[in-house]
Structure 1
Amino acid sequence: MSSLLKVMLMSFLISSSLAYLDIKDFGEPMRKAAEECHDICTDVTGTTDEQVQQIREGNFIDDEKMKRYILCLWRVAGYMDRNLKINVAKVRQVLPQELIDSGCHSAAVKCLNEARNSGLKENYEKIYELEKCLYKIDPQKFVMF
């Protein structure tokens, strides 16, 4: 799978959706998995639904629990390993065609590379920077579970 799909997942897969992209576009298996990951990660990190909603709306609060929640989503879903490497096979299974066709892949790859090479020490900080960058690519297609 190309870097396009790797990064498209990174950018759009971690949460219930905003704007024109709806969770139903991901299909029933993805919806169920997203709900399960959300429940696990809110329990583990102590993040509230209100905090998650702020991110969905583009308000990236500076909160360690929220940053850890986003990393948790990526990891629990199995879309990324501890070294921030994408599980291409899993991404391919759930990515809606609309995202593949959207043309945002180059910018998403750039976001991923910038996050990996940001100099930030903790992976939860890197992933949070990735999410902010992905939101900026196209807020209307940003997905947050």
Structure 2
Amino acid sequence: MNTTTKVMLAFFIYTVVAYMDPKDFGDKLTKLGNECHDICTDVTGATEEMIIQVRNGNFIDDEKMKRYVLCLCRVSRLMDKDLKIDMVALNEVLPAGSRKNVPSGARDCLVNARNSDLKEKYDKVYEMEKCLYNLNPDEFIMF
């Protein structure tokens, strides 16, 4: 499997988290999500109110919220500093059979955000989340 294929597959797996039913997360993913949530709210200052707004599709233009989303990706070790998905970390936490929930176009969300003219990584990751939300708002989940 070449590097491009691995990166695409890893991103495919990563985006599953945004479209899974929380009851299907399993112990590892639930624990990781809760830990990252607690760390990232403390580090960034994002509030529960802000997070709920984004969960509901209101992507507020707030640097704390943008940094929170990037923090989730980085603290979970699911994404590295170059905004590349870590396939090994994903495979450790994702429940088996969860890949079927990813909508088509999810890979484009990461590629477009990563290649955008936005300067800050938190802006790029936030754009990726907006894109993922827009692919399937009814199934979008964020910690």
Q: Which has the higher contact order (CA 8 A, sep 6+)?
A: 1
Shift of the 99–132 alpha-carbon distance from structure 1 to 2, 3 Å rule, reads farther
Shift of the 80–52 alpha-carbon distance from structure 1 to 2, 3 Å rule, reads same
1:12 touches 1:144 (CA, 8 Å); kept in 2? no
Report which stretch shifted further, 106-115 or 64-73: 106-115
Structure 1 length-normalised TM: 0.86
1:8 touches 1:108 (CA, 8 Å); kept in 2? no
**Whole-angstrom distance in 2 between the partners of 1:141 and 1:5:** 20
The CA RMSD over aligned residues, in Å, is 1.9
Q: Name the aligned partner's letter for residue 39 of structure 1.
A: D
**Whole-angstrom distance in 1 between the partners of 2:17 and 2:101:** 14
**Whole-angstrom distance in 2 between the partners of 1:59 and 1:139:** 11
2:32 touches 2:76 (CA, 8 Å); kept in 1? yes
Shift of the 129–73 alpha-carbon distance from structure 1 to 2, 3 Å rule, reads same
- Cα displacement (A) at 1:5: 4.0
Structure 2 length-normalised TM: 0.87
- Cα displacement (A) at 1:37: 0.4
Percent of residue pairs identical? 51
Report which stretch shifted further, 63-72 or 134-143: 134-143
- Cα displacement (A) at 1:28: 1.0
* Structure 1, unaligned runs of 5 or more: none
Matched, 1:41 2:29: no
Q: Name the aligned partner's letter for residue 135 of structure 1.
A: Y
Shift of the 12–142 alpha-carbon distance from structure 1 to 2, 3 Å rule, reads farther
Match of residue 117 from structure 1: 115
- Which string of whole-angstrom CA distances, capped at 9 and with x for unpartnered residues, describes residues 50-75 of structure 1? 10001111110000000000000000
2:12 alignment partner, one of 7, 16, 24: 7
- Which string of whole-angstrom CA distances, capped at 9 and with x for unpartnered residues, describes residues 16-67 of structure 1? x7xxx42221101111111110000000000000100011111100000000
2:12 touches 2:102 (CA, 8 Å); kept in 1? no
Q: Name the aligned partner's letter for residue 7 of structure 1.
A: F
Q: SS of the residue aligned with 1:129?
A: helix
Aligned length: 138
Q: Name the aligned partner's letter for residue 47 of structure 2.
A: T
Q: How does 1:78-97 map to 2 (within 5 A)?
A: 78-96=77-95
2:128 alignment partner, one of 106, 127, 130: 130
